[in-house]
Amino acid sequence: MLLAALLHPTASGAGGVPESVQTWHETVQLLLELWWEHAWTLLGFALALLVFVRLMLEKRNPSNVFAWGLLVLFVPWLGAPLYFLFGGRKSRRLARAKMRVNEYAAQMAAGLGEDLPAAAETSPRVAPRRKFPYNAFHLLGDGVQAYDALRREIARAQKSIHLQTYIFGRDEPAQQILAALVERAQAGVEVKLLVDALGSLPAGGRFLNPLRAAGGRVARFMPVLPLETKTSANLRNHRKFAVFDRERVVVGGQNIDHRFIAARDGIDLFLDFSAIIEGPVVAAFNRAFVSDWCFAAGDSPRDFRDLLGHLPHSRGPHEIEVMTSGPDVEGDPLWERLLILVQQCRAELTIVTPYFIPDEVLFQSLLIQAHAGKKIRLIIPEKSNHPLVDFARHHYLRQLYDGGVEILLYRKKMLHAKLLLADGAVAMMGSANMDLRSLFVNFEIGVFLYSAEAIRELNQWAEGLLPDCVTYSASGHAGAGANRRLMEDFAHLLGPLL
């Protein structure tokens, strides 16, 4: 109608301007006024809609969708940017990059015959995993032992050191590790250090330059700033292990930070354990490192042909399996394996974890097993280094406690260990916490042990925690008042975002 009036004016208004032109100008002006008046609302709605579409495509669990949905719906201008910066869970770009490494590793293994378990009996889209027999396992029961072992293995290395960690501090222990790495690099040892860009943010800048100057290489996994990365800053590499001469690995949950190494007690200090493993299973750690390093440093997996094709010699009696999980693989294999262990538990299950915010399926599985009369024991720190996480966990703890789960709170230190013991038949250690971030977002690594000797040693370590624990009922949390429960319920709603 407006176009017809403009083409065929029939009347004139004031000043000889056709009425149709006046009407058109008024309409445009009205539309512009409406746009500027509601622009922020419309843009906010569009952003919220885009976030909800992404949430659905990523097939998140309902609690995660609900938490992000609340934030985006009520505060779209804050929630949407936070989601795109920190809310990503899977990355097609990461998957494609990691698939190339896995495919090449599989080709190398196929060319070397059937004696290479590192090839894995899985497709390149699935996290590499397989049981490896004939390995040596030595438990490092605290931070001092682990730190001494790390220093010793660095000094002992003759060919290569491949170390990756979430936190690489700037304190004295970190400086000592850095100096030891520099010394070996100067001696001609191949040194590669992979740190998470967020966890090791204090070690950025020039702090690691001495290693670069000595001939070593440093890579930062997933830079935090949006301009530095094409994917979400939420995707963090939480794996912690160091491989020496392609034959030996130190693996656990400890970071390179003074809090993990202090011999004294204190709730601001961390208790954790690690292990030295030798044998064929180290091939799986080599493959995991190459995959992470090539993505972070931009190297080609073809440069690691010899490493990917290397199978360490048999060293001991232990059967060990390594499983990686993260945004670069389909599904959530580590969560699936934990769920299987819980649901197939026949008699007893012990879980040691610093943070406890399970998803609904895992939570209900624990509750059902407790109702069925299974002995379920949960050991967690009385106070962690994340107060909001502590509030959020009590929503689950009270129901598990009422359902018959034995809940013990460790008091001497911030308990940072990750351990699961099932029926004396399998043990799991590694980097993953029992929370939504570790099980569904982070890059993690899990080590499963099946030999009786290793399981017995880890069970003794867990039993050693008991004298310094208090029961959940004795702690006073089971009978918290209404105000505290209100805060805990609010923290529970935010659990998927923590």
Question: Which of 222-226, 233-237, 439-443 shows the lowest mean pLDDT across its residues?
Answer: 222-226
pLDDT for 384-421, tens place per residue?
A: 998 888 888 988 999 999 999 999 999 999 999 999 99
In contact, 239 and 288? CB cutoff 8 Å? yes
Q: DSSP character for 313?
A: P
pLDDT for 273-316, tens place per residue?
A: 999 999 999 999 999 999 899 888 989 888 898 898 899 999 99
Closest CA relative to residue 297, chosen from 411, 220, 389: 220
pLDDT at 202: 86
Which H or E element spans position 44?
helix 19-57
Looking from the CA of 107 toward its CB, the CA atoms found within 13 Å total 10
Task: Report strand pairing: 217-221 vs 131-140.
Answer: unpaired
Higher pLDDT, residue 44 or 320: 320
Say whether pLDDT at 437 is over 70. yes
Question: Which of 22-31, 349-358, 472-481 shows the lowest mean pLDDT across its residues?
Answer: 22-31
pLDDT for 135-171, tens place per residue?
A: 999 999 999 999 999 999 999 999 999 999 999 999 9
3-state secondary structure 144-207: HHHHHHHHHHHHHCCCEEEEEECCECCCHHHHHHHHHHHHHHHCCCEEEEEEECCCCHHHCCCC
Average pLDDT over residues 322-327: 89
> What is the rounded distance in angstroms from the CA atom of residue 477 to the CA atom of residue 468?
17
Say whether pLDDT at 129 is over 60. no
- pLDDT band, residue 3 (cuts 50/70/90): very low
Task: Report strand pairing: 406-410 vs 469-471.
Answer: antiparallel
Q: What is the average pLDDT score of the chain?
A: 81
Say whether pLDDT at 38 is over 70. no
- The tokens describing 155, both together, are 């000094």
Q: Cα–chain-centroid distance for residue 283?
A: 22
Question: Which of 10-19, 102-111, 158-167 shows the lowest mean pLDDT across its residues?
Answer: 10-19
Higher pLDDT, residue 448 or 326: 448
pLDDT at 1: 41
> What is the rounded distance in angstroms from the CA atom of residue 208 to the CA atom of residue 170?
10
pLDDT at 113: 39
> What is the rounded distance in angstroms from the CA atom of residue 448 to the CA atom of residue 319?
9
Most distant CA pair in the chain, distance: 100
**Residue corresponding to tokens 């609010």:** 490
Say whether pLDDT at 478 is over 80. no
pLDDT for 71-102, tens place per residue?
A: 566 556 555 555 555 555 545 565 566 666 66
Instruction: Write the DSSP assignment of 245-269 as a string of letters.
Output: TTTEEEEES--BSHHHH-SS-EEEE
Closest CA relative to residue 498, chosen from 366, 355, 380: 355
- Percentage of residues in the chain having pLDDT higher than 70: 68
Closest CA relative to residue 275, chosen from 246, 242, 245, 247: 242
pLDDT at 121: 37
Average pLDDT over residues 473-480: 77
Say whether pLDDT at 125 is over 50. no
Average pLDDT over residues 427-449: 93
pLDDT at 101: 63
- The tokens describing 70, both together, are 């609340």
**Residues 87-126 as b or e (16 or more Cβ within 10 Å = b):** bbbbbeebbebbbbbbebbbbbbeeeeeebbbbbeeebee
pLDDT at 118: 38
Task: Report strand pairing: 160-165 vs 190-196.
Answer: parallel
pLDDT at 262: 84
Q: DSSP character for 344?
A: T
- The tokens describing 25, both together, are 């100008």
In contact, 342 and 362? CB cutoff 8 Å? yes
Task: Report strand pairing: 426-430 vs 413-415.
Answer: unpaired
pLDDT at 328: 73
Average pLDDT over residues 18-41: 58
pLDDT at 80: 55
In contact, 352 and 253? CB cutoff 8 Å? no
Average pLDDT over residues 267-271: 92
> Hey, which residues does 131 pair with through a beta bridge?
321
Average pLDDT over residues 430-450: 93
Residue length of the chain: 498
For the chain, the distance separating the N- and C-terminal CA atoms, rounded to the nearest angstrom, is 55
> What is the rounded distance in angstroms from the CA atom of residue 461 to the CA atom of residue 356?
20
pLDDT for 341-390, tens place per residue?
A: 999 999 999 999 999 999 999 999 999 999 999 999 999 999 999 888 88
